[in-house]
Structure 1
Amino acid sequence: MKPSVRNKVSGIYLIQNLKNDRAYVGRSHDIPSRFASHISALVSGTHHNKHLQRDCKDYGINNFAFRILEVVDYARPSLNAYLTSLEEKYVLKFNAMHPQGYCERVADLNLSDTRLMTERIVCMDLRSDELFYAEAFSEAALYAQTTAGQVKKAVSSKSHYAKHHLFFFEHEFRDYVPEALEKKIKMGKYYSSVTST
């Protein structure tokens, strides 16, 4: 019998090696079931993540901690996009990307792009000239109601455009801002939001 939505716990979770602190961060609509799947695969030697599987074989399943990092309301609008955004933040927070950690990919994004780890993304809404500073591609996508892949393409394209927005890495933003807009920004005429974790 499948658990009802009421019994599910959706959010972000952590699997951490207690011997070397390497971490795996994931997201799920049903974390307890996801933990059971991870444990079953690790114990049977069939886990999809070869690095996590190898360490489980070397250290034993009892040397891994399974923790829920953040619970998210299952009924939240845009749940998948929000979970992806949170997952990226926690992957960075726990240094969970391979080779330091076990994660190789988060959703459809390759977080090995070092600029993502050190720079925010500036999102400019062309309809209102609002500015938003995002810590991850998926967070920018959530703000602009587009996909993280589209944001990533826009950031690296000449036009920087996707779905009524311009996207820049923070250090590139000033090179593209017209002088008049920069004056307005300095005068505080534009909304700016920095999210916190």
Structure 2
Amino acid sequence: MKTKKELKEEYKQMKIPMGVFQIKNISNNKVLIDNSIDMESKWNRHKMELKFGNHRNRTFQKDWDDYGENNFVFEVLSELKENDEGNMNYNKELKTLENMVIEELNIENRY
């Protein structure tokens, strides 16, 4: 069994995926594009808001209510690698990456 110190060190070494993702409605192909330094947590936040009926994007919420959770998929569009120097503004970089992805993929059918 690992000690608390070993577990803490393992946690510090974990690389949490950050990047740009979409939540796609497979019934009408509309997408919600977002970014996060912790994509899994952000996806879970979106799901919880939708399940409780209080997502900030009302059109997205309505489609979630009409089509159901099974008609939505989470897809990573681009990942941002961690900078070892530690002086990078990840939120700014992620927003830039998000804009680039939207432009590159010519995503127009968005929430």
Please, what TM-score do these two structures have when normalized by structure 1?
A: 0.45
For the pair shown, the structure with the greater C-alpha radius of gyration is 1
SS at match of 1:101: coil
State the 1:43 CA deviation.
Answer: 1.1
Q: Is the 8 A contact 1:29 1:74 kept in 2?
A: no
Distance 1:13 1:5, change over 3 A: farther
CA separation in 2, counterparts of 1:94 and 1:22? 13
Gaps of 5+ in 2: 1-10
CA separation in 2, counterparts of 1:32 and 1:39? 11
What corresponds to 1:79 in structure 2? 90
State the 1:10 CA deviation.
Answer: 0.7
What corresponds to 1:95 in structure 2? 107
CA separation in 2, counterparts of 1:79 and 1:26? 14
Q: Deviations over 1:96-138 (max 9, x none)?
A: 4xxx311xxxxxxxxxxxxxxxxxxxxxxxxxxxxxxxxxxxx
Greater relative contact order (CA < 8 Å, ≥ 6 in sequence): 2
Q: Is the 8 A contact 1:27 1:84 kept in 2?
A: yes
From 58, 71, 84, the equivalent of 1:63 is: 71
Q: Is the 8 A contact 1:23 1:94 kept in 2?
A: no
% identical equivalent positions: 28
SS at match of 1:67: strand
Detail structure 1 runs of 4+ shifted over 3 Å in the superposition: none
SS at match of 2:91: helix
What corresponds to 2:55 in structure 1? 47
From 19, 24, 31, the equivalent of 1:16 is: 24
More helix by share: 2
Matched positions, count: 97
State the 1:94 CA deviation.
Answer: 5.0
Q: Deviations over 1:146-178 (max 9, x none)?
A: xxxxxxxxxxxxxxxxxxxxxxxxxxxxxxxxx
CA RMSD of aligned residues (A): 1.9
- Match of 1:37, as an amino acid? R
Please, what TM-score do these two structures have when normalized by structure 2?
A: 0.76
